[in-house]
Amino acid sequence: MINPVQSVQIAIGSITSAKMRSALTALGIIIGVAAVVANVALGASFNQYFADELGSIGTNFIIIEGREDNLFFDHELELLKNTPGIDGVSPTTWSSAEVKYMSESKIITVLGVSEDYDEVRNMKIAEGSFLTDKDRYTVVLGCNVANEKFDRKIGLQNSIDLAFRLDDGTSVTRKFKVKGITEKVDFFGDPSATPNNYIFIPIDTMMGITGENDYNAFFASADSLDTVEETAEEIDTRLARNFGVSKRDRDDEDAKPYMIQTQIDFLEMTGVWADAIGALLTAVALISLVVGSIGIANIMLVTVSERTSEIGLMKSLGFTSMDVLSLFVVESAVVGLFGGILGSLLGVVGAYFATDLIGLPNVFPVSLIVVGFGVSVGVGLIAGAFPAYKAAKMNPVDALRHE
């Protein structure tokens, strides 16, 4: 019985005796494994990209939005603030306003928010500072509002006029001083999810101008991403009880006058996108791997044919069919392993340049290397199985007669 070390030594000797053929055989595996590793890495990079993008619009966020007017008031705000697991919450209300700066006027959405809004929304301020609950007629401008909406840029301490149209048809105009300007947020999804195109004012000031006393929505953050779903469930339970929604109807979203969305919901949705992209890329890559495995099987069949006499001699000297089988299987596995090493390295390098080119984060799970090796050796074993079986079943007498 040949021991494993001897099998590997004999396999390496056979491979090195036909360097060009072995290299061409391994090339198919190298390309296939490189394609699989690179595409799986790209899928992981897309997942990380989507997660980072969602992080840019909030941290561990929970959005509670009313489906009807006059639903959320201070009572609901206190209910949310006292919910276990809540790290911060900001009520929000919004309205379109005519914004006047210099001699220009633009219609822009204005959001009334509390001082916690920048924290729960993970908002970054490029210039100045965010609002406090003590502010009255001050604003924070989205970067596009400050730098692109008007012919002349709006800077800190500049004044703008906001004209709100009330329900009775009248208009109220107030002068506001610019306190801060947000950093630009590049988001792959809905641009309205970013602060770029909004104006933010103290919510008390906005409600005082419009005469309204209800909130459109709440933007909250949980203590951690791990507790987001649990905290959202508790919020749902408390709000359902508050609005008289029966236990039977709590699982029916249409039966509730509000809707709750969490960062986990968005991550799951984007995860589906990333998985679909990764699956498509990997499926294409697997075609290359199949071609490479066919190449190994073909070459091993040729090798068996060329070494028929050698096989007959081995059997006549007492080598068993299992010995012959192991020799050819090990040889194909070594070719696969060699292709896996080079293919994995090539795949990592290719993924690095691809992610850098399209602006994705570089994510290379260590498991990719293990997968690359495992796939390549597995392909080598599978591709070499039939040729090895054919060699092992040869009749030694017929094999020795073969020329």
Q: What's the confidence (pLDDT) of residue 399?
A: 47
Same domain for 246 and 106, yes or no, is: yes
Domain assignment of residue 261, yes or no: no
User: Looking at the domain assignment, is residue 344 inside a domain?
Assistant: yes
Q: Residues 93, 40: one domain?
A: no
- Tokens representing 142 are 């989205």
Using CA atoms, how far apart are residues 200 and 94, in angstroms rounded to an integer? Answer: 9
Q: Which amino acid is at 137?
A: Y
**Is residue 248 domain-shared with residue 354, that is, in the same domain?**
no
- Asked if residue 118 and residue 197 are part of one domain, the reply reads yes
Q: What is the pLDDT of residues 379-395, one digit of tens each?
A: 666 666 666 566 556 65
Selection from 239, 245, 185, 192 nearest residue 215 by Cα:
239
**What pLDDT, on a 0 to 100 scale, did the predictor assign at position 376?**
65
* 139 and 27 share one domain: no
Cβ contacts of 78 within 8 Å, gap of 6 or more? none
Residue 263: inside a domain: no
Residues 245 and 282 in one domain: no
Helix (H, G, I), strand (E, B) or coil at 142: coil
Residues 75, 200, single domain; the answer is yes
126, 229: one domain: yes
Q: How far is CA 37 from CA 51, 132, 334, 366, in A?
A: 21, 50, 19, 11
* C-alpha neighbours within 13 Å on the C-beta side of residue 334: 21
Contact 21, 336 (CB under 8 A): no
CA 241 to chain centre: 36
In a domain? residue 89: yes
Report yes or no on 385 lying in a domain: yes
161 and 104 Cβ atoms separated by less than 8 Å: no
pLDDT per position as a tens digit, 112-122: 999 989 888 88
Neighbour-count burial of 299, counting CB atoms closer than 10 A to its CB (0-12 exposed, 13-18 middle, 19+ buried): buried
Residue 296: its pLDDT value, please?
A: 65
Torsion of CA 330, 332, 334, 339, to 10 degrees: -160
Specify the DSSP element, H or E, that contains 357: helix 321-358
83, 222: one domain: yes
Distance, in Å, from the CA atom of 206 to the CA atom of 197, rounded to the nearest integer, reads 18
Residues 296 and 396 in one domain: yes
Q: Same domain, yes or no, for 33 and 155?
A: no
Q: How far apart are CA 268 and CA 329, in angstroms?
A: 43
| Domain boundary pick from 212, 231, 256 | 256
> How many structural domains does the chain have?
2
Residue 122 Rama label (left phi>0; alpha psi -120 to 50; beta): left
Q: Is residue 58 part of a domain?
A: no
pLDDT averaged over 10-residue windows placed end to end, the chain, 403 residues: 63 67 73 77 74 64 87 92 90 93 92 90 89 93 92 92 88 94 73 78 93 90 85 90 83 85 76 70 69 67 62 64 69 75 82 80 69 66 63 56 50
| Count of other CB atoms within 10 angstroms of residue 191 | 12
Domain boundary among 227, 256, 285: 256
Q: Which of 256, 280, 295 is the last residue of a domain?
A: 256
**Is there a single domain that holds both residue 312 and residue 177?**
no
Q: Say what the pLDDT of residue 344 is.
A: 79
Q: Which domain holds residue 150?
A: 68-256
Classify residue 62: in a domain, yes or no: no
Please check whether residue 356 lies inside any domain of the structure: yes
The pLDDT value given to residue 173: 93
